Amino acid sequence: MERNVAWNTYNETEQKELEQISAEYKLFLNGGKTERECTTAAIRLAKDAGFRDLKEMIQTGETLRPGDRVYSDCMGKAIMLFIIGSNPMENGFNIIGAHIDSPRMDLKQNPLYEDAGIAYLDTHYYGGIKKYQWVALPLALHGVIVKKDGEKIDVVIGEEEDDPVLCISDLLIHLSGEQLQKKGATVIEGEDLNVIVGGIPLKDEEKEPVKANILKILNDRYGVEEEDFLSAEIEVVPAGKARDLGLDRSMILGYGHDDRVCAFAQIRAILSIEDVPERTSCCILADKEEIGSVGATGMHAKYFENNIAELMNLTGEYSELKLRRALKNACMLSCDVSAGFDPNFAGVFEKKNSAFLGKGVCFNKYTGSRGKSGSNDANAEYMAKLRKLMEDAGVQYQTAELGKVDVGGGGTIAYICAAYGMEVIDSGVAVLSMHAPWEIISKADLYEACKAYRAFLLNA
């Protein structure tokens, strides 16, 4: 049952390809620190590869034919890519689905205030974070401000070499006696996540002059007023670029590997398909997974189903019954990261059912927590088919659970799509320090994920 170390299987050409993919991935991470930025990047890559906007085709009523490539974004925060196959959709299609939202802190609607001569932005964290990890490190702002007249302003501060960065302060060690006795969950509390943004008072301003000065800077740079924060979505994320990790450069340290490493591998996989596939290829990049796949752009929303209906309408095979059959006959890889075995915290893992960095793409037959609660438990028949598919394609893979049975767990979008009656299994890349500001993956696992997702789209 011992799995291969993927690194031992590579020849020189594969090593080169692995480095090329890793370099592309780091650029994708640097340019995609929010779901909006990832969607924009996916649209750009798709357009360059000949994909067209499904919305425009719906308007013109154009017929879709095998080999046609289309994309459909949902509110600029989620996106689906398709390559129409030669088989009718009714017989099923192949789906790879990941999420492009990552844990972070969002600015509150009324965020800006001044205290003790310092201006702050107040935040509400998003997703599961260890709050103490997000203090005393450089932070950046990414997002949009939408003005009353509908004008949308893109904001990115803290990423250019000469940009200022932002930061949340931590208590000095000299006065931390009491703080260090607290439980980890309360060492830093949610309402302590206040981002420092300024310290110079505006001249001749009596009331909150430092805040007034920050508002002046924002107005000069973006033409916005304080009230425009009411209609803004600005995310506070770690500032800086993804980098090679290790003296042997075997790993990547980056923000948002969960789940952009799978999102990137998926985009790469679908864009790499040149011929007409038998079954239609579908790549989903969903939003809101980290908070339960809720809302209009989360996987629970109907945009997935609606897009399949639109697609079948344009291929001339739509009926309610055929749509249901298409969804039921689909196969899916729910592509999300898995917990990598960490020797520093070996006690929470069950070693023979753990994912190891560098042992290839990981399949989780089930996730969930404490007795598989909330899990999609994939069928043995499906896992058997995938074992053969992966072996035939020369993909290094491993299987894992998310930690010891009674310790905890997690979920993905798998169970949501499984509700249509399709075959679904979780498949992704092992991560160390998951949900920390800087997460760790192995380049070999990224490489195997790219291979696995392409093989799945072509052969499942």
* Interface stretch with Mn ion, choices 3-11, 143-151, 249-257, 336-344 (CB under 5 A): 336-344
- Written as six digits, the tokens of 262 are 């799978």
Pairing of strands 430-431, 338-339: parallel
Question: Is 138 strand, coil or helix?
Answer: coil
Residue with tokens 């007409």: 276
Give per-residue burial for 60-90: e unless 16+ CB within 10 Å, then b: eeeebeeebbbbbbbebbbbbbbbbbeebbb
Residue of 258, 310, 342, 401 that binds Mn ion (CB under 5 A): 258
**Shortest reach from residue 97's CB to Mn ion, in Å:** 11
Binding status of residue 259 toward Mn ion by CB under 5 A? yes
Q: Which helix (H) or strand (E) is 167 found in, with range?
A: none
CB-nearer residue toward Mn ion: 194 or 293? 293
| Closest-approach residue to Mn ion (CB) | 259
Q: How far is the CB of 244 from Mn ion (least distance, A)?
A: 23
Residue 149 CB partners (closer than 8 Å, separation 6+)? none
Minimum CB–partner distance for residue 155 and Mn ion (Å): 24
Which span sits near Mn ion by CB under 5 A: 64-72, 211-219, 313-321, 332-340? 332-340
- Fill in the per-residue mask, 34 to 63: x = in contact with Mn ion (CB under 5 A), - = not in contact: ------------------------------
Q: State the nearest-atom distance from the C-beta of 360 to Mn ion, in Å.
A: 18
d(CA 301, CA 421): 17
| Interface positions, 159-198, toward Mn ion (CB under 5 A) | none
Query: Residue 180 Cβ, how far from Mn ion at the closest point, in Å?
Result: 28
Shortest distance in whole angstroms from residue 336 CB to Mn ion: 4
CB 144 within 8 A of CB 137: no
Q: Which C-beta is closer to Mn ion: that of 260 or that of 454? A: 260
Cα separation, 242 vs 140, in Å, equals 14
- Residue closer to Mn ion, measured from CB, 37 or 336: 336
Task: Pick out residues in 351-410 that bind Mn ion (CB under 5 A).
Answer: none
> Across the strands, what pairs with 125?
105
CB of 339 to Mn ion, least distance (A): 10
- Looking at the Cβ atoms of 312 and 418, the one nearer to Mn ion is 418
Alpha-carbon span 190 to 134, nearest angstrom: 11
300 burial class (0-12, 13-18, 19+ CB within 10 angstroms)?
middle
> In the structure encoding, which two tokens stand for residue 443, read together?
């380049």
Stretch near Mn ion under the rule CB under 5 A, chosen from 50-58, 137-145, 251-259, 381-389:
251-259
- In 3D space, the residue among 275, 14, 224 whose CA is nearest the CA of residue 112 turns out to be 224
CB of 441 to Mn ion, least distance (A): 12
User: What is the DSSP annotation of 203-237?
Assistant: TT--SSHHHHHHHHHHHHHH---GGGGGGEEEEEE
Distance of closest approach, residue 107 Cβ to Mn ion, in angstroms: 21
- C-beta closer to Mn ion: residue 210 or 263: 263
Task: Report the residue number, 128 or 316, with the smaller CB distance to Mn ion.
Answer: 128
| Degrees to nearest 5, angle at CA 9 with 8 and 10 | 100
Judged by CB under 5 A, which stretch of 22-30, 259-267, 376-384, 389-397 contacts Mn ion?
259-267
User: Is 310 a binder of Mn ion (CB under 5 A)?
Assistant: no
Among the residue ranges 178-186, 252-260, 302-310, 374-382, the one whose residues contact Mn ion (CB under 5 A): 252-260
Nearer to Mn ion, 57 or 337 (CB): 337
Reduced to 3 DSSP states, what percent helix, strand and coil does the chain have, rounded to the nearest 5? 35, 25, 40
Binding region for Mn ion (CB under 5 A) out of 72-80, 89-97, 191-199, 334-342: 334-342
Distance (Å, whole) CA 144 – CA 166: 17
CA distance 181 to 178: 5
- In the range 218-247, which residues lie near Mn ion by CB under 5 A? none
CB of 205 to Mn ion, least distance (A): 43
CB of 82 closer than 8 Å to CB of 272: no
The stretch near Mn ion (CB under 5 A) out of 255-263, 307-315, 346-354, 452-460 is 255-263
The CA distances from residue 439 to 58, 91, 118, 193, in Å, are: 40, 39, 31, 20
Least distance from Mn ion to the Cβ atom of residue 410, Å: 7
Distance CA 432, CA 341 (A): 8
Question: Taking the complex as a whole, how short is the minimal distance between the CB of residue 412 and Mn ion, in angstroms?
Answer: 6
| From 114, 336, 423, 448, residue interacting with Mn ion (rule: CB under 5 A) | 336
The region of 24-32, 38-46, 204-212, 328-336 touching Mn ion under the rule CB under 5 A is 328-336
Per DSSP bridges, beta strands 281-286 and 94-99 are: parallel
287 scored as a contact of Mn ion (CB under 5 A): no
Q: Which residues is 398 bridged to in the sheet? A: 362
What is the binding site for Mn ion (CB under 5 A)? 258-259, 336
